[in-house]
Amino acid sequence: MANWRNVLLLAAVPALVCAANAEAATLNKWTFNNSTKRLEFTTDSSVQPKAFLIFNPYRIVIDLPNTKLTSASVKQAYSGDVKQVRLGQFDATTTRIVIELDPRYVIDAKQTIVKRTTGNTWVLDLSGTVGLPATGTTSVPLKVSDAGSQPLPTPPSTTPKPPTTAPKPPTTAPKPPTSANNNNPSARNFCRAQVPSALNSVLNRSSSTQWGVSVQTQSGTTLFDRNASTLLAPASNNKVFTTAAALTKLGPDYRIKTQVLGDGQGATINNLRIVGQGDPSLTGTGLRSLTQQLKTKGVRNVDFLIGDDTLFKGPSINPNWLEEDLGQAYAPPINSLSINQNIIGLTLSPRSQGQPLAVAWDDPSDQQDWVIDNRTVTSSPSGGEFVDVVPSGNRLVITGALRQGSEPELVGVAIANEGNYLVSKFAGLLRSAQVPVARTTVVTRTPAPKDLVELAAIESDPVAKMIAVTNLESNNFYAETLLKVLGANRLANAADTRISGINEVKSILVGLGVDGSQLQMVDGSGLAPNNRASAKAFVQTLNAMANGKHAAIYKNSMPVGGRSGTLSNRFRGTAAQGRVFAKTGTISGVVSLSGYVDPVNHPQISFSILANTDSSASTIRAIVDDAVVKLVDLDDC
């Protein structure tokens, strides 16, 4: 969830410059069918759309050059995989359509095509484009095609072209040019015996940094070891442990069930109980499904709506997290009955230059609990951009700037009343569906009576998808929730489910052959500064997963260098692009990267680089990346 606290914005999407027609086209009509995920739009004369898949935030942008929008800007909210569709005038000659996507809805960019159907009508069909995992850089051009013709040219090379081959090519593929960072680019081979001197020459660029590094073949042969057994702060590399344990113990198809139980099956339910089991993917869509199921069952009145938040024991806020992080969207409370990752969403929109940004609540009912302190400004079209949201009591202090004419930005803040928030939302949905609710409460200690009847239920995304969200986005909420799910499964009556979860993760990893003395976890995400682990423990975990039955699922949950997740903007233009699958990590004084490298002329290797340092993160990250690029050039000799 690293993108929540300071939302760094993308530059304007590049587009081909087209000669303007004598008279601009007009966007006459558009429709979006959320059930079929189909967008259709029509102009009064011929245009050539330009389309892009963009990450952080995740959205599709379609630009219509030399086209005017005659009506006011449009913003239409939806539920499910598509969150919002917006239409507006991007500049004097370009109309822009933006489709905001749920970050968990992965899209195959190669199969996503804007097609002309008849005349000047175009269609974008998202119903059959799902791919695993999503692969992309900051922005990926999408195909635009006339019916029955070849796809039109994609944008110029300033926008990276989507991959046309699988991440790992055949081992007979020609070796790419030696990286410019290689100290000996003229060498014909880079053999295993040369790895220590090559990596040490890179790491020694920061002599004050405490390095912990391990590089091994998949069979466990050590290629490089530098303080590999030293326990260091790992930051978000902790998620490597948590997700490996969850996938191993629960399996890729495991889903978490949220039930609604009642003390009867008639039109009036005296006690209606929604029981949380720790589903981190639950959103308003799930609550609406439960509401509809109850209506179908004939429920017409509820006397007492009870939120059952009893599964996770102990504090919902990790006592090891820094006070400065509490309340941020990347550090929400972790409980068993949650919605929207326990985050309240806001949309910040630029106005006229010099004016404060417009602030809109994703759910208007949320504003009753907060007072907005808006210290933002709309900057010039060439000005800088950043936003920051800091909770202070019941006040939200919003600072930063967006450029005039730029796209709105979505930001968030952690909620403070956990289960009550979900129950309030559920009660509101029931009332809107003409099912009155007289009273509500949340229980944290008294489990549901055995004689209650299941009236409705939904299930989470499968574990395979949840670990992908955890690792690709570095999502703290998912990591901490999965840790507690493991803890609850290990010991239902544990005094502290977090501690039980840590013990379970360690037990699972030891069972995989990991040295248990090499990790000291205090959370599942790595946000706490007092986690400790060694590079050796990470490589042992990575190799155990690579040699296990879920190897492909685990590897594909990782960000890909230069293509996806938190590695989208790293390794671009190097030999490592598309060949590094690794979990990133950054907190104050810590930079880490652990995962897999697919060299062209050597079998897959596992690596972990931990850096505890007083140097800047950007400086250390550059050193880490240069070290990994060297590994891509490794030959099987």
- 476, 600: one domain: yes
- 60, 99: one domain: yes
| Tokens 């409980």 sit on residue | 335
| Tokens 């091994």 sit on residue | 216
Give the C-alpha separation, 507 to 504, whole Å.
5
Res. 134: pLDDT tops 50 = no
Domain containing 573 — which CATH number? 3.40.710.10
> For residue 588, is it within any domain?
yes
Give the C-alpha separation, 574 to 625, whole Å.
10
Give the C-alpha separation, 388 to 373, whole Å.
12
Percent of residues in the chain assigned helix, strand, coil, to nearest 5: 25, 30, 45
151: CB partners within 8 A, 6+ apart: 113, 143, 144, 145
- 271, 286: one domain: yes
> For residue 6, is it within any domain?
no
CA 42 to chain centre: 33
- 60, 102: one domain: yes
- 494, 529: one domain: yes
Stated length of the chain: 637
| Tokens 């759910």 sit on residue | 363
Give the C-alpha separation, 140 to 101, whole Å.
15
High-pLDDT (> 70) share of the chain, %: 87
Tell me which of 146, 180, 204 is where a domain ends: 146
Which of the four pLDDT bands, split at 50, 70 and 90, describes residue 10?
Answer: very low
Tell me which of 146, 172, 206 is where a domain ends: 146
- 263, 244: one domain: no
Over the Cα atoms of the chain, what is R_g? 26
Average pLDDT of the residues in 373-378: 96
- 246, 130: one domain: no
- 360, 469: one domain: no
- 91, 209: one domain: no
Helix or strand or coil: residue 464? Answer: helix
Number of domains comprising the chain: 3
Instruction: Quote the domain boundaries for residue 577.
Output: 192-252+463-632
Compare 196 and 368 and report the one with higher pLDDT. Answer: 196
In this structure, the number of other CB atoms found within 10 A of the CB of residue 180 comes to 11
pLDDT in tens, 217-268: 999 999 999 999 999 999 999 999 999 999 999 999 999 999 999 999 899 9
pLDDT for residue 182? 41
Sign of CA dihedral 138, 144, 149, 155: negative
pLDDT in tens, 208-217: 999 999 999 9
Q: What is the pTM of this model?
A: 0.72
> For residue 594, is it within any domain?
yes
Res. 180: pLDDT tops 90 = no
- 225, 286: one domain: no
pLDDT in tens, 601-624: 999 999 999 999 999 999 999 999
Peptide bond preceding 447: is omega within 30 degrees of 0, i.e. cis? no
pLDDT in tens, 299-327: 999 999 999 999 999 999 999 999 989 98
- 456, 489: one domain: no
- 354, 483: one domain: no
Res. 383: pLDDT tops 50 = yes
pLDDT for residue 585? 97
Res. 59: pLDDT tops 50 = yes
